[in-house]
Structure 1
Amino acid sequence: MVTGMLALAAGLLALGFMPVLPPGWLLLLMAIGGLMLLPFRTHPVAFFLFGLAWACASGQWALDDRLPQSLDGQTRWLEGRVVGLPEPGAGVVRFELKDARSRRERLPRRIRLAWHGGPPVNSGERWRLAVKLRRPAGLLNLHGFDYEAWLLARRIGATGTVKDGQLLAPARQAWRDGLRQRVLAVEAHGRAAGLAALVMGDGSGLTREEWQLLQDTGTVHLMVISGQHISLLAAVIYLAVAGLARYGLWPARWPWLPWACALAFVGALGYGLLAGFDVPVQRACVMVALVLLWRWRFRHLRAWWPLLLALNAVLLFEPLASLQPGFWLSYAAVAVLIFTFAGRLGSWRWWQSWTRAQWLMGIGLLPPLLALGLPISLSGPLANLLAVPWISLLVLPPALLGCLLLPVPYVGEGLLWLAGGLLDGLFRLLGAMAGLWPAWVAPLVPLWVWGLSSLGALLLLLPKGVPLRVLGWPLLLLAVWPPQDPVAEGEVEVWQLDVGQGLSFILRTRDHAMLYDAGARVADFDLGERVVLPTLHKLGIRRLDLMLLSHADNDHAGGALAVQRGIAVSQVRSGEPEALPAALQSAPCDSGLSWGWNGARFTLWQWTGAADGNQASCVLLVEAGGERLLLTGDIDVHAERALLDSLLAVRTHWLQAPHHGSRTSSSMALLRRLTPKAVLISRGRGNAFGHPHPQVVARYRQLGMVIHDSAEQGALKLRLGTFSQPESLRQQRRFWRDWPAMP
């Protein structure tokens, strides 16, 4: 039976690794084949086929519910009900609409919307909205957040921007939204948003700085509803009933064990409903239910059974849950604890068990964190050693009781005030730890290095005295200092990052690295922090010799401050140094400046007659091994005409499309003089400017240029000096990603 359950789990988990989904006839054939194999000894194969067929079918249903291509970018009036908790931000509110209807078109069942400058939106309300609809899409960068996978896992079939709207019906029984508003209105030492996250799973009120603090200390799981919170409440109820029974205070006619298990599950389920009963909460409730069932009736079975049953139950209910990183981390954490504590000889004192659990958890979760490309908290074991009991025993009880007693004057507010004060003290302590040990973003790790490091972590989790256990440390440290693939002498590695409607290039030689533009910063969404910095860290770059900002427009220089705060920058230059923040201390472009790094040549140019910021863009020519790349910023036809009279007007192999391919750039005179083989377009999908302009694209095609578009292909990697084809991240097929259109 164990092998069958493992095979079923393997089939269900295989969904996340599939580049494409099998056709329907093949899925039916797999299910029939599984039925035929079930009576024989090959039943694990049958369970695997069942799991794979069900997961693929579920994934295909989610894909079929996506917005049709014909409606992508179209504005439609639709009606629907707001579900979940809306997420208010700086001048924008984001929310989800369910069962949306339009007069003429079939729409996905669930749509995620953003309303800039709109009125307050509450859960349960019905709205009539004019929405510019978009198919699910997101930025695609090196080990970045996969927004498309996140949307699919939540079965969101479209996104959109609200242009206008009308409230049709107020909320009915929107008790969660009302409770959130009351919690946020309480004076709780400035931590009301943290209490709302802790009690209701609503983290929208937490600031970016608070999220970064939690990430640096490895305590994000404490501020979202997780299995720990739900299992804690269940454990308190179970222990209360057990204590009453032990001292004779429980009615003798009621068997205490089934009652303890049943009441504990009811408490866990109630907490889950308070938190919205989302997929992570469902996962936690299933786990608690199976542990309680195991405790009541099946204690003779090993502790692995509840974990395996919960894993299969969650995946059978929602196969797309495996697309979310939290799924892997939660089950990996429980598996580490079971492996560490189950079946050990001798006993540990409570404080030994607690400290070892945190230490070994840090080791055991290192491989999945590396595989998922997530930051690794250096202070995590120590921070969790203090924060987990602080939240579980001191903050959570008064927070839950305060929410329950809010109708009682002063009592509920007083309890929330106490919980907020305790939470504020914890945040101050975590802030001190984060200042000493910020989160570490590991560089790219080859698969064979990851495998050896995982083996090292497994060895370190084994009991003392196991042969070869000491080899775990050198194997584990391979992931900390993995072997690098250095850039060869005379070559330049070029990355065009996917920063939407903006621009950012990373260029590095064997011993040097520079950044050309840093993307935009819009409200609290900073692409320098979200995309550029993580990519620099993933490439193993810890210092920039030069940050060159073509000009001061937000889509080129908005993320520069975040980059400067997160990595050492030796020098900053810009085409508009006077228009940049003083903190950047930028030097001018210095047209004509040329230098060499490891056999590659770099040359700057700027039009002295520029009348605006776009024309003043600092242009960079990079030459390596006879192959050339020209980065042009946002120059227009007037600046291009001046460029034709400079030393940079030479045959170029790669051209960054001036001004994202706008109609006022990429003149035929420039293209004929440079004769590039390919053009690199950096732009946002469906941008409001219409970039690239169809006339410009027609010019590119007329001259036989290959078009590489970040909106279609994601981030792009190029080895200048090898005359090889670039690598697109979207070439790494995943079934939930739209395949790029052919240039």
Structure 2
Amino acid sequence: MINGLIGLAVLCLTLPYLWFQWGLAIAALPMLLLPLVANRRWWLAALWLLMAASLLLRLETEASHVLPRHWQHDTAELQFCLSQPAQVFDRYQRFTARVIAQPEALSLRRIRLSAPSSVVIEAGDCVNAEVRLRQPVGQRIPGNFNATRYYFSERIDALGTVVEVLGHESRPNLVVRRYQRAESQLDDEWVRAVWAALALGWSTSMDTELADLFEQNQIKHLMVVSGMHIAMVAAWALLLARLIHRLPGPWRGRWPQLRLLMVVTVCGLFVALTGFGFPALRAWLMLLVPLLAMLLGVRLSGHQTLALAAIAITVVRPQAWLSTGSWLSFGLVWIMIRLYQRWRCEPIARWQLALRFQAVLSMLSLPMAALLGFQWHPLSLLINMLVIPVVTLLILPWSLLILLWPEMARLGYQPVVSAMINGLDWVAAWHQQAPAWPLPDILLLGSLLWLALSHWLNRDQRWLVLPLLALPLIWPGRLTSSNEFRLTALDVGHGSALVLQWPDQTWLYDAAGQWSDGTAIAEARLAAWFKRHRIQLNGMVISHSDIDHAGGAQWAADYWPGAERFSGEPQAVARLSERSGWLNCHQADSTQLPFQLIAIPIALRNNDNDRSCVAVVETSAGRVLITGDASRRLEYWLLQAHPELFPFSVLVLGHHGSRTSSAPAFLDASPEALLLVSAGDRSRPRWPNADLLSYITRNDRALFNTAWSGTLALQVQQGRWQIRDWRSAFRRRFIRN
């Protein structure tokens, strides 16, 4: 028999994910089982059904605000206001704004925008601008951060690019005015960013280098207004309540009511001051539930308190459980409750108890980092032991006092925070990238750690678990290759990264591009995917030297130094990758390779795109053709020079589906071929081009685009192609197939 409260919480925790991942119909299926699970308690079944139905209705209502499909890449006049500063990069700035005026056909609430760095936009400004709109859908690489789910959980209904600013005025609210008063007292930009994050919850506008510094030391959670900040404010509220309780008045003898009123009111005012950021609001709700239970005289277990908090959070924001932060916060509180139940009877001092909690959380941070892709520091226990007391007992209270009296910053706040940042910068050198383990390994390690720490084993038996912790290190690698052939087109935005796998070999065709700051997308986004699947390359082909194909060449050559290397522009790629040994794919002997490299005549190789390596893969399901950025001229040459290769069963279209490639005659020569495009959803709809899309519609051809579907995997099984993607039902709903 399932407890009614726990069952209701389970519904709140699971239904949003089912709805997001598999759609309304699948999410509604568990409702049919609720009467059976309720075990003839019809009133409980009715309550569960009512909650489930209202939750699904709320989710549908939330989704109705998302930018409709037909508005994709259209321009609209919007008026929006910034509640915190923009995050500024070299050539552009990025910020999230509240939409206050828009066309009648839209109902956007928040929008994530980018604008040129030359546009002056500050916190508290309201801007009227022409904005090119895009749907809030991010790149999808299995196992990596899911940007689409994050946008929906944060109520970001559209992405956009500011095309032209039509009007601009300053409307600072109370929070922005407090920030402007304190800003003049803090000269150092990083110190000011730390203060704004702690006192106002402005962590998203923090400089990326500073944010990376906190993440590398595993203390980024301290810069988000959440449970720690609410607990500090609650402690202040309790102190204030004690002082008031000693004064004569009607509150004498009403300590429980006064305590509740002060904590709820003061913490609520702080949450309002930080703009009702959801991490702070979530922490406030988790504090409010046990306080109300105490006031009403209701005795709740730790699990029941968490269940009620989960229900309250769901009522306020039903999509909250699509956020990683909510699960982390909820899970850590659950762990702390379980550990407290085990340790509360032991005769240890409070400081020892706090040290134990921090040690456990530091150990469990390793599987969490592997699961979520966070960076990990081997000295995280020591760093947290030193930094948490400093931030909690000194810098955070000081930051809140500066919020009330900006002159308090003159009393040495800046040197103290600067010293902390310099210390973190020094120890950050030892940080490690998140261990990219497969999910079974992560679950195994996490379970073993919890088993060693839990009360299920006696102290004398726990040492037996320690040797088992080495299992994830010796666990057999995952069989990622197909029995025949598998092609994986990784979703890298505008660029290309194709993984070609045979039973005995794996090759990489192109290594994606770079971001505006020069960071290789392959290193930032794909490294974890390769590690997780334990892929060792036998070789790589960089089609040509364009940065959207060769941006990760240096990383790939360094990561797999023994792999064979080919390129259509070997000298240019050698300079780009700072590594010699690149062979010209147009002069290579491919008889020993698992695929054929087509030698393009030198007379036709008169530009970067037409120097692209052209690869042909033979499979039992037909041939695969990969042409890089080759133009229509090379496509016509292939038709004339190699008619024996046609028809192909899979065509990876050249130049991301632009007008320079994919000639109709070339496509007609493989009428049954699956067409694959590796492209990105950029601010202008250029890939695939409109003529190609019209051809696809007229001829009823199958076109697969990573910008629509995310990462795509094509695998040969019993002589036929099997296609898989990792799209959620939410993504399918808003992005064309």
Q: Deviations over 1:446-498 (max 9, x none)?
A: 5xx66655543442232351797566556665555554342568744321011
* Residues 408-423 of structure 1 mapped to structure 2, 5 A cutoff: 408=407, 411-423=408-420
TM-score normalised according to structure 2 size = 0.85
Q: 1:688 — aligned with what?
A: 684
Aligned counterpart for 2:594 among listed residues 561, 581, 600: 600
**How far off its partner does 1:326 sit?**
0.4
C-alpha displacement at 1:714, in angstroms?
1.3
Equivalent residues of 2:161, 2:683 under 8 A apart? no
Cα 1:26–1:217 shift into 2, 3 Å: closer
C-alpha displacement at 1:278, in angstroms?
1.1
Q: Where in structure 2 are the equivalents of 1:2-13 lying within 5 Å?
A: 3-13=3-13
Question: Cα distance, 1:142 vs. partner?
Answer: 1.0
Per-residue CA distance 1:145-178 (angstroms, 9 max, x = gap): 2222122112222222221122254214253376
State whether residues 138 and 146 of structure 2, in contact with CA within 8 Å, keep that contact through their aligned partners in structure 1.
yes
> Unaligned 5+ residue runs, structure 2?
none
Change (3 A) 1:41 1:559: same
Q: Within 5 Å, which residues of 2 pair with 1:279-428?
A: 279-293=278-292, 301-344=300-343, 345-364=345-364, 378-406=378-406, 408=407, 411-428=408-425
1:503 and 2:496 aligned: yes
Which residue pairs with 1:636 in the alignment?
Answer: 631
Identify unmatched segments of 5+ residues in structure 1.
Answer: none
Instruction: State the alpha-carbon separation in 2 of the partners of residues 185 and 552 from structure 1.
Output: 49
Letter in 1 for 2:625: L
Structure 1 594/720 Cα, relative in aligned 2: closer, same or farther at 3 Å?
farther
Would you say the 8 A contact 1:8–1:50 is kept in 2? no
Report Cα offsets for 1:43-70 as digits up to 9, x if no partner. Answer: 5434432332222111100111222333
| 8 Å contact kept, 2:514–2:548 | yes
Tell me, yes or no, if structure 1 residue 493 matches structure 2 residue 486.
yes
Q: Quote the Cα distance in structure 1 between the aligned partners of 2:162 and 2:339.
A: 51
Contact 2:570 2:583 in 1 (8 A): yes
How big is the shift at 1:274?
3.8
Q: Percent identity?
A: 25
Partner SS state of residue 276, structure 1: coil
Alpha-carbon distance, 1:338 to partner? 0.8
Instruction: Identify the structure with the greater helix proportion.
Output: 2
Q: Give, in whole Å, the separation in 2 of the partners of 1:76 and 1:245.
A: 54
1:520-555 Cα offsets, whole Å, 9 max, x none, are 3232475324432232223223x5444432222232
Aligned residue identity for 1:460: A
Which of the numbers 654, 663, 666 marks the counterpart of 2:662? 666
Alpha-carbon distance change, 607 to 319 in structure 1, aligned in 2, over 3 angstroms: farther
Give the deviation of 1:583 after TM superposition. 4.8
Pick which of 321-330 and 351-360 moved more.
351-360
Does the residue aligned with 2:3 lie in a helix, a strand or coil? helix
2:17 corresponds in structure 1 to: 16
Return closer, same or farther for 1:148/1:337 CA change in 2, 3 Å cut-off. same
| Whole-angstrom CA distance in 1 between matches of 2:284 and 2:137 | 31
Q: 1:318 to 1:200 in 2, by over 3 A?
A: same
Output the CA distance in 1 between the equivalents of 2:255 and 2:27.
Answer: 52
The 10-residue stretch of structure 1 (321-330 or 187-196) with the greater mean CA deviation from structure 2:
187-196
Alpha-carbon spacing, 1:9–1:703, altered in 2? closer, same or farther (3 Å) = same
Instruction: Find the aligned partners of 1:441 and 1:222 in 2 and give their Cα distance.
Output: 22
- CA change 1:636–1:235 in 2 (3 A) is same
Report if the CA contact (8 A) 1:383-1:433 is conserved.
no
Please give the secondary structure, in 2, of the residue aligned with 1:679. strand
Kindly provide the amino acid, as one letter, of the partner of residue 280 in structure 2. Answer: V
Q: Which AA in structure 1 matches 2:512?
A: G
Q: Answer whether contact 1:649 1:674 (CA < 8 A) is retained.
A: no
Residue equivalent to 1:439: 433
| Superposed displacement of residue 367, structure 1 | 6.3
- The alpha carbon displacement at 1:417 in A equals 0.7
Distance 1:570 1:221 in 2: 40
In the alignment, structure 1 residue 538 sits paired with structure 2 residue 537: no
* Secondary structure class of the residue paired with 2:721: coil
The one-letter code matched in structure 2 to 1:173 is N
Matches within 5 A, 1:47-126: 47-102=47-102, 105-117=105-117, 119-126=119-126
- Equivalent positions of 1:132-531 (< 5 A) are 132-173=132-173, 175-176=175-176, 179=179, 182-183=182-183, 186-188=186-188, 190-235=190-235, 238=238, 253=252, 259=258, 262-293=261-292, 301-344=300-343, 345-364=345-364, 378-406=378-406, 408=407, 411-434=408-431, 438-446=432-440, 455-463=447-455, 464-465=457-458, 472-473=465-466, 478-479=471-472, 482-487=475-480, 491-510=484-503, 512-524=505-517, 527-531=521-525
- The more displaced of 633-642 and 516-525 is 516-525
User: Contact conserved, 1:636 with 1:664, CA < 8 A, in 2?
Assistant: yes
Normalised to the residue count of structure 1, the TM-score between the two structures is 0.85
Q: Secondary structure at the match of 2:424?
A: helix
Worse-superposed segment, 696-705 or 577-586: 696-705
Cα 1:163–1:521, aligned 2, differ >3 Å: closer, same or farther? same
Deviation digits for residues 596-631 of structure 1 (CA, Å, limit 9, x no counterpart)? 88x934536455232221112223333456753322
Q: Report deviation, 1:307.
A: 2.7
Q: For residues 539-586 of structure 1, what are the alpha-carbon distances to aligned partners after superposition, in whole Å with 9 as ceiling and x for unaligned?
A: 223x54444322222322234455567776746543334445555325
Q: How far apart are residue 76 of structure 1 and its match? A: 1.9
Shift of 1:648: 10
After superposition, the Cα gap between the structure-2 partners of 1:694 and 1:170, relative to the gap in structure 1 and judged at 3 Å, is: closer
Compare 637-646 and 383-392 and name the one that shifted more: 637-646
Give the structure 2 partner of residue 657 of structure 1: 653
Q: Which moved more, 1:637-646 or 1:69-78?
A: 637-646
Mapped partners of 2:644, 2:347: distance in 1 = 76
Contact 2:213 2:425 in 1 (8 A): no
Q: 1:673: how far off?
A: 5.8
Report the Cα offset of residue 739 of structure 1: 6.4
Question: C-alpha distance in 2, partners of 1:641/1:149?
Answer: 43
1:576 counterpart (545, 569, 583): 569
Aligned to 2:715: 719
Is the CA contact (8 Å cut-off) linking 1:497 and 1:716 kept in structure 2? Answer: yes
CA distance in 2, matches of 1:39, 1:675: 58
Does the CA contact (< 8 Å) of 2:628 and 2:655 recur in 1?
Answer: yes
Tell whether the 8 Å contact from 1:574 to 1:589 is kept in structure 2 after alignment.
Answer: yes
CA deviation string 1:313-332 (max 9, x = no partner): 11111111001000000110
Two-structure CA RMSD over aligned residues (Å): 4.1
Alpha-carbon distance between aligned partners in 1 of 2:444 and 2:55, rounded to the nearest angstrom: 30
CA contact (8 A) 2:374 2:434 kept: no
Give the drift of 1:297.
6.7
* Contact kept in structure 1, 2:374 and 2:433, CA below 8 Å: no
Say which is worse superposed, 113-122 or 484-493, in terms of deviation. Answer: 484-493
Alpha-carbon separation, structure 2, partners of 1:379 and 1:596: 51
Q: Which moved more, 1:326-335 or 1:367-376?
A: 367-376
**Once the two structures are superposed, what CA deviation does each residue of 1:638-671 show, in whole Å capped at 9, x if it has no partner?**
2334445767972433221011122221235544
In the TM superposition, what is the alpha-carbon distance from 1:95 to its structure 2 partner? 3.4
Instruction: Report whether the alignment pairs 1:615 with 2:616.
Output: no
Change (3 A) 1:188 1:83: closer
Distance change >3 Å, CA 608–CA 699, structure 1 → 2:
farther
Contact 1:122 1:177 in 2 (8 A): no
Q: 1:327 is aligned with what amino acid?
A: S
CA contact (8 A) 1:152 1:736 kept: no
Deviation at 1:340, TM superposition (A): 0.7
